[in-house]
Each structure stands twice: as structure tokens, then as C-alpha cells.
Amino acid sequence: MSPGLSNTIHEWVKVWVVAYLCLASVCAHASHIDVVGLFKDKAVLVIDGTRRVLTLAEVSPEGVKLLAVESDYAVLEVSGKRSIHKLGQSGSVSTTFSSVPVTEVRIARDPIGMYHSQGSINGTAVKFLVDTGATTVALNGSQARRLGIDFKKHGKPIPINTASGNTVGYLITLDRVKVGAIELFGVEAAVLDGNEPQEALLGMSFLGRLEIQNDAGLLRLRKK
């Protein structure tokens, strides 16, 4: 065999191998993803017709990595590209990354220097007093009962130090807490079986999961 012919064959073999590897790489990655369920640190996906349950940072056999989970969308990474996939929205994998929308709630300071906001706990309307000095969201017994929370049955008794002295509270986990457009799931709360606090306190178990900025009497809460 002449050297020229041998070189030509070698070049064709190299081209065929590269093409095969490229095709195998494409086939190994997902082309269609449906988000069918979202939970805390977990998402249920249908990838090219196969149901997958991924936890944060887990990679599916199709090469889909779960980066973040919110109440209505998941952030996924495929072939090094990030994209947002909304719950119940079907579509092909995007090769571009859309930035995650920033949700912001603005609360104005009242004449006596307090910050109040309408919100909800487990879907029931609640008026909150924003309190960065409170470790958790805090409710009195009457408020908890109105929300249908059996804190004595499901809560963990804990000592609580209040302005009126020491008392016993009950540590619980709220399914969801919402203020404006910001909704968080699995929020720790304390219930005091009495009349204190008179207003539901929006404490750091909620606020600590947000970006907080105080701008000349306007409190900005941000969730990315």
C-alpha cells in the first residue's frame, strides 16, 4: 500500500471516529424535559419520556443536573448550559440561560417606625409585624388555632424568653408562608399559648432566607 493511500485511510478513520463520538455525545443528552413536580430540594422530571426524581446537584443518566428548585420552576443544567423550566410547561432543552427573575416586596415604615405587611400562612390571611430580632416566625395561641394548627399535638415544647418573662412555646414547621409575591415553604415558627405576641411576627426563619435592604424607611425583601 502506498504511503499516500495509507494516510488517506487513516484520515478517513479519524473523521469517522470523531463523527461517531459526536453523535454518541448528542444522544447521551436530553432533548425534551417536562417538570411535573417540585418539592423542597427535589424535582420530578420527565426526560425524553422517562420519569426521573432528582435532588439538588444530582445528575440524571441523560446528563440533566438540578441546580435550584423554587415553588413554580426548576433551574437545570444540560451540556454546561443553564435554563429555567416552569412547572407544567413542556418544552425542548434551551441552549441559552434565562436569568432567574428577582421577586421583590417593598414595605414602608409606619409613623411609629414599624414595618407591617399583609401575608398568609398556609393560605390563610395574616397581618405580620416584621421583626428581625425574632429568631422565628412567632404566633400566639389564638392565631395558631385560627390557622388550624394543633401546636400542642405537633409542636416541640421549648423555653422562650419574652418581655413579660420566661414562658413555654411550641416549635412547629409551617407548610408555607407568603408575603406579597414571596412564598417560602417549610418555615420554622414558634407558638406561645397566650396573648403574646399580639401581632404575628415575621422573624428570621423567613427573613433569613431573603435579601433584606433598608432604604430610607422602605424595607426591600428580595427573593431570587
Q: What angle do CA 90, 179, 72 make, to 5 degrees?
A: 10
How much is the pLDDT for 29? Answer: 58
Pair 73, 131 in one domain: no
Pair 64, 128 in one domain: no
Mean pLDDT for the stretch of residues 113-135: 94
Say if residues 128 and 202 touch (Cβ distance below 8 Å).
Answer: yes
Top-confidence residue, 130 or 34: 130
Which residue, among 170, 168, 161, has the nearest Cα to 190 in the 3D structure?
170
Q: Could you read off the pLDDT of 14-72 as tens digits, one per residue?
A: 434 444 333 333 344 566 888 888 887 888 888 888 889 999 999 999 899 998 888 77
User: Are 45 and 70 in a shared domain?
Assistant: yes
Does residue 17 fall inside a structural domain? no
> Cβ of 189: how many Cβ atoms within 10 Å?
26
Structural domain contains residue 9: no
Q: Residue 218: inside a domain, yes or no?
A: yes
| Shared domain check, 127 and 40 | no
198 lies in some domain: yes
Q: At 138, which CATH number?
A: 2.40.70.10
Q: How many domains does the chain have?
A: 2
Please give the grid coordinates belonging to residue 114: 414599624
Instruction: Supply 56's cell numbers.
Output: 439538588
| 213 and 155, same domain (yes or no) | yes
Domain span holding position 36? 32-92
Lowest-pLDDT range of 27-41, 123-137, 180-194: 27-41
